[in-house]
Structure 1
Amino acid sequence: MALFFCFGIILVLFLFLLPQMKQEMPQGLFYKEEVPLPSRLHPEVAQKKDELVARAQEQGIDIIITEGHRTKERQNNLYEQGRSKEGSIVTHAKGGESYHNYGLAIDFALKTDDGEVVWDTGRDDNGNGRSDWMEIVDVAKELGFDWGGDWENFKDYPHLQMDFGLSIRELKFGKRPNVDDYADE
């Protein structure tokens, strides 16, 4: 009889209380909300990217944004590089596991006077005695970006991101930064 009573209580919890708890708890805690991935950079990231390029120019540094928003397919192709495809490993993130997939990250490189794109972190083309790369990183941090070169495990020197306090797990579960015109409909 006691076993039947316990089973009844558990059944009531699952049938009635759990759906109510899911409605009252923040989305993503118990379930994944199907929210489409954005197809472009978040508006604030796009604005700060443009400011970064302009401020670099003011300092005599020519940069190029080599990546912005990435589709899951592009991310998976990059992930396969150095694994199942030729080349060096450039990312540890599969599709849906990168801030690029949510329009919250950019990658940059330096551009030489002859138009060559380089990832030389020690280069000083503006001749002020400081690495142009680190000057860009400093400006990016002032603008609110986090830098992949500060990461503990995998250093990603060209990578800049704004996570808006959201983890990849939260983004995968459907949370997005609060901007109306950001997520695709």
Structure 2
Amino acid sequence: MNKLKKDILAWITVIIFIVIIFVLYNRLEDQYMDLGEDAPIPIELHPLVEEKKDILLEQASNLDIEVVIIEKTRSIRRQNELYAQGRSKQGDIVTYARGGESYHNYGLAIDYTLQDENGEMIWDTQYDGNGNGESDWFEVAELAKNLGFEWGGDWNNFKDYPHLQMDFGLSINQLKRGLRPSYEENKE
């Protein structure tokens, strides 16, 4: 009987410990992010992403590189349309993210391209419009990374050269659950 009591006490201790860890984890997560089950899908860029985008455009311009933002926040519907491209619709595959699975859906990503002096969009990642011997695409990517963006051109499985995102340490699953990065705690 004494051994049985010890075993039960040990299991109760383990269960209490797991519950405490779970509660502390959720409090920590909530402390750094706005949490709401019904958190709406943003229709605009997160304020910090917007700020950093503007800085990126200015820094690129200072290097004589004209950057054009071609995509910001996307609706779930628009994301699903892009996902269908190259699958059930004509065109090349441009994304592996369905609606709700892209940082664009949460106002945390932008896509860019370059523009030449004639106003033509440049998709050639080797383009050197400012004549400094370096790819303008890669120069813009470096500027963006220095501002805190993650660049899709660094991804291993699917190179998405136009894509820049700031995930604020949040996974897509967390965003789907309603977690949102706060502005003040992420501002530098």
TM-score over 0.5 for the alignment? Answer: yes
- 1:131 aligned partner, one-letter code: S
Q: CA deviation at 1:38?
A: 0.7
Q: How many residues align?
A: 158
User: Does the alignment pair 1:105 with 2:109?
Assistant: yes
CA RMSD of aligned residues (A): 2.1
Map residues 75-86 of structure 1 onto 2, 5 A cutoff. 75-86=79-90
Q: CA deviation at 1:40?
A: 0.4
Q: What corresponds to 1:47 in structure 2?
A: 51
Q: What corresponds to 1:4 in structure 2?
A: none
Q: CA deviation at 1:22?
A: 8.6
Indicate how the Cα distance of structure 1 residues 120 and 78 shifts in structure 2: closer, same or farther if over 3 A, else same: same
TM-score between the two structures when normalised by the length of structure 2: 0.79
Map residues 32-71 of structure 1 onto 2, 5 A cutoff. 33-71=37-75
Q: CA deviation at 1:36?
A: 0.9
Partners of 2:150 and 2:173 lie apart in 1 by: 18
Unaligned runs of 5+ in 2: 1-20, 30-35
Q: What corresponds to 2:131 in structure 1?
A: 127
Indicate how the Cα distance of structure 1 residues 113 and 175 shifts in structure 2: closer, same or farther if over 3 A, else same: same
Partners of 2:182 and 2:52 lie apart in 1 by: 17
TM-score between the two structures when normalised by the length of structure 1: 0.80
Percent of residue pairs identical: 57
Partners of 1:160 and 1:99 lie apart in 2 by: 9
Q: What corresponds to 1:152 in structure 2?
A: 156
Partners of 1:128 and 1:42 lie apart in 2 by: 33
Q: What corresponds to 2:182 in structure 1?
A: 178
Partners of 1:133 and 1:23 lie apart in 2 by: 45
Q: What corresponds to 2:26 in structure 1?
A: 26
